[in-house]
A and B are shown apart, each in its own frame.
Chain A
Amino acid sequence: AQKVTQAQTEISVVEKEDVTLDCVYETRDTTYYLFWYKQPPSGELVFLIRRNSFDEQNEISGRYSWNFQKSTSSFNFTITASQVVDSAVYFCALSSEYNAGNMLTFGGGTRLMVKP
């Protein structure tokens, strides 16, 4: 079985603060993929990043960065200099290469509120 835990259900920050969203995963597979999706107030789900288990390099995309650490089974997401438009629910997800079936498992989500 596989599992994704996003322990922070809600985070509130003031604009321009940096914020890190935590994601901890469990899987018995050595090959797996991790994802982050954003769900703004309008409700749609927007893909942010995909990372496979063999690529431990951190990634930066503008104000967004991701820290993948296999040693702690974590794939954390940091927003630098947050903006009001970053307010959304963020989901971390996991897909293992050889798990039973072809399921994609999501965490419970973290609601980020950025106040002006």
Chain B
Amino acid sequence: EAQVTQNPRYLITVTGKKLTVTCSQNMNHEYMSWYRQDPGLGLRQIYYSMNVEVTDKGDVPEGYKVSRKEKRNFPLILESPSPNQTSLYFCASSLSGRTDEQYFGPGTRLTVT
């Protein structure tokens, strides 16, 4: 089944404790991205990747890191989480870019206390 998976689905952590949210897709998609969803703000793009070893900042990259060492995986790293990073995070992939239909993962709800 074609899908985007994210783990964990739910995470409660404390300020400053490094964490990684994994994202994996099995559709051989070139483009992957991370979004955060906050009430009233819709989805805002954090980082995206056009291909392996090619990543770039989206609208709200501060406090986040990503890597794309393999085509299928695109982890989101929070080196020192803060409470303002409490949000719902979505990973997405598409065949060749942002002009294609995006396939979204199920979301990761992160709470930073």
Known: A101-B56, A103-B45. A108 touches B101 (CB 8 A): no
Residues from 29 to 61 in A contacting B, C-beta threshold 8 Å: 33, 35, 37, 43-45, 47, 50, 52
Query: Contact: B107 with A43, CB < 8 Å?
Result: yes
Query: Contact: A33 with B99, CB < 8 Å?
Result: yes
How far apart sit A109 and B106, CA to CA, in the bound complex (Å)? 18
Residue-wise, chain B 31-51 has the 8 Å CB interface mask toward A (1 for contact) of: 101010000111111001010
Report the interface size class on chain A.
Answer: 20 to 34
Query: Contact: B41 with A108, CB < 8 Å?
Result: yes
Q: List 28 A-B contacts (CB under 8 A).
A: A6-B42, A33-B99, A35-B101, A35-B102, A43-B88, A44-B104, A44-B106, A45-B43, A45-B90, A45-B104, A47-B102, A50-B100, A50-B101, A52-B99, A91-B43, A95-B99, A102-B31, A102-B97, A103-B48, A103-B98, A104-B45, A104-B102, A105-B45, A105-B59, A106-B35, A106-B44, A107-B42, A109-B42
List the interface of chain A (C-beta within 8 A of B): 4, 6, 9, 33, 35, 37, 43-45, 47, 50, 52, 91, 93, 95, 97, 101-109
